[in-house]
Structure 1
Amino acid sequence: MKKKFAAVFGLFTIFAVIAAGCGNAKETTVSGKGAKQESITSVGSTALQPLVQEAATQYMNDHSGATINVQGGGSGTGLSKVAEGAVQIGNSDVFAEEKDGIDASKITDHKVAVVGFAPVANQDIGVDNLTKQQLIGIFTGKIKNWKEVGGKDLKIVVINRAEGSGTRAVFEKQALDGATAVKAQEQDSSGTVQKIVNETPGAISYLAFSYMNNKVKALKVDGVEPTEENVKTNKWKIWAYEHMYTKGKAKGLTKKFIDYMLSDEVQKNLVPKLGYMPISEMQVERDASGNVTTK
């Protein structure tokens, strides 16, 4: 009896070891062992960051051995880092030609989406529409209280993005007719701006559509609502392409990831889900000089 038990126990132990070995083999496959290990870094625009981050996560889940590091820092950082060769992808809300100190001829543009931007304010200001001149007056410091534009007797608190921000560059060029916003509190990321505007009475700033929610009030300008439909026709004029720049021609994992960003899986699913628009849906196009033409 003891011998039979020992024999059965021995067989059980062998099966257990084999099963454990199979389990380990499966885990190894999932972790990507044996797959070609490739790693790239994508840096820059915080307006584009949510889309790139989500797409990178999906891509890595489907491709063992691929590592895609996504960081913010602003469009200026993205353009300078990719031009230096410090990163593989530089994300930007603006054309490289619009940035001082960047040789656009040495980097390659890949437009991956369109995003609208809008002035946003604390929910309790008593205003939901501004004329363009009022908007310029607020951001240049000439209008200091919300009662001057029909709102509450409440001091206006301007929250700005930092120098080098593509969001700031787009907003100043297209919403403020090129005027420079008054020196004010400056923030490095759109997420921080959203939080501060939500928590600060009288606050106003600007955000990409991808960061807008019911925590902040998106303001109309001259009666026009900041909607995707209005962006597509240029009725709402504060918008930009989202660019992913590479130094020279994209290759390896960089090319594979950019191709993935332009695939139907991202363009038809992630892009609209996260508050962006596919370039294919635009009824107009804009060049680096700001000229807009009908497609």
Structure 2
Amino acid sequence: MDEMILKYQKINDQLKVTYDAQGSSVGIKGLFDGIYKMAISSRDATEEEIAQGAKVTIIAYDALIFITSPDVKITNITEEDLVKILNGNIRNWKQVGGPDAKINFINRDSSSGSYSSIKELVLEKILKNLEEAQFRKDSIIVKSNGEVIEKISLTPNSIGYISFGYARGAIEKGLHTLSINSIYPTKETIIKDKYDIKRKIIAITNNISEDQNTLDFINFILSPSGQDIIEEQGFIKVNTTENN
């Protein structure tokens, strides 16, 4: 979002735009508390938020990918085994073809849109019993994609999940990206729905109090220039997905 703001302010230097990365739920709450004019979210607005006046605009598509520390030495995992790692039923890498070592799971905090997405798109998809579709209690909690990458780089035998847009940063740290059911996350596999742990990135405004400046900024994000920035940052353009 920093790059988007920088480019926008070059063509609209009369308006100051700032971005506070606090997580989806915190941002949406801040929107309705009057702190923010707009919230960027990686989870859908809830029925309660819609009733409050949330207006949703899809600005990009994203996927969530699983990364490991280099010592794990596996490249692929089945969705079923992944779920067992997330809920704690598998706790040693040896159980999935890796080294004989305890699995350290790096998780996001519960206010994160990524946390909600993995719970819905992975745990609840496989485990129909919602009581079982819970993350293991001894997860190591961090607050951002960048912190996941940093923590995994410092923690032996670890696994966590990040936005596809941060894949480059993980590679630069020497971390490994897992294939799920032998499907590796790439732009092509995400667009064609072969890799299906994917989600929308949305801009949420308050339908009651939104102003023209905010709408103009959203329109810039959706413009060809804005969507080029979306793609440069590792996300999927809105029209790219819609046309495939």
Residue 63 of structure 1: aligned partner: 12
1:170 aligns with 2:117: yes
The structure 2 residue matched to 1:180, chosen from 125, 131, 134, is 134
**2:73 counterpart letter in structure 1:** G
**1:142 counterpart letter in structure 2:** N
Q: Counterpart of 1:164 in 2: which secondary structure?
A: coil
1:271 aligns with 2:218: no
TM-score (norm 1): 0.74
TM-score (norm 2): 0.89
Does 1 or 2 have the higher relative contact order (CA < 8 Å, sep 6+)? 2
Residue 134 of structure 1: aligned partner: 81
Larger Rg: 1
- Contact kept in structure 2, 1:132 and 1:176, CA below 8 Å: no
Residue 220 of structure 2: aligned partner: 260
The structure 2 residue matched to 1:143, chosen from 90, 96, 111, is 90
CA distance in 2, matches of 1:244, 1:194: 25
- Contact kept in structure 2, 1:132 and 1:221, CA below 8 Å: yes
**Residue 83 of structure 1: how far off its partner (Å):** 2.3
Moved over 6 A (4+): none
CA distance in 2, matches of 1:71, 1:97: 21
CA distance in 2, matches of 1:212, 1:157: 20
Residue 128 of structure 2: aligned partner: none
- Contact kept in structure 2, 1:233 and 1:283, CA below 8 Å: no
Aligned length: 231
Q: 1:123 to 1:248 in 2, by over 3 A?
A: same
**Residue 154 of structure 1: how far off its partner (Å):** 1.8
- Contact kept in structure 2, 1:107 and 1:246, CA below 8 Å: yes
Unaligned segments of structure 1, at least 5 residues: 1-51, 285-294
Deviation string, structure 1 residues 48-100 (Cα, Å, up to 9, x no partner): xxxx22100111123222111101111111111112332100111111027xx
CA distance in 2, matches of 1:65, 1:278: 28
**Where does 1:16-95 land on structure 2 (aligned, <5 Å)?**
52-95=1-44
The structure 2 residue matched to 1:243, chosen from 191, 196, 202, is 202
Unaligned segments of structure 2, at least 5 residues: 126-132
**1:89 counterpart letter in structure 2:** M
1:196 aligns with 2:155: no
The structure 1 residue matched to 2:239, chosen from 238, 261, 280, is 280
- Contact kept in structure 2, 1:91 and 1:242, CA below 8 Å: yes
Question: Which region of structure 1 is more displaced relative to structure 2, 103-112 or 187-196?
Answer: 103-112
CA distance in 1, matches of 2:191, 2:10: 33
**CA RMSD, Structure 1 to Structure 2 (Å):** 1.7
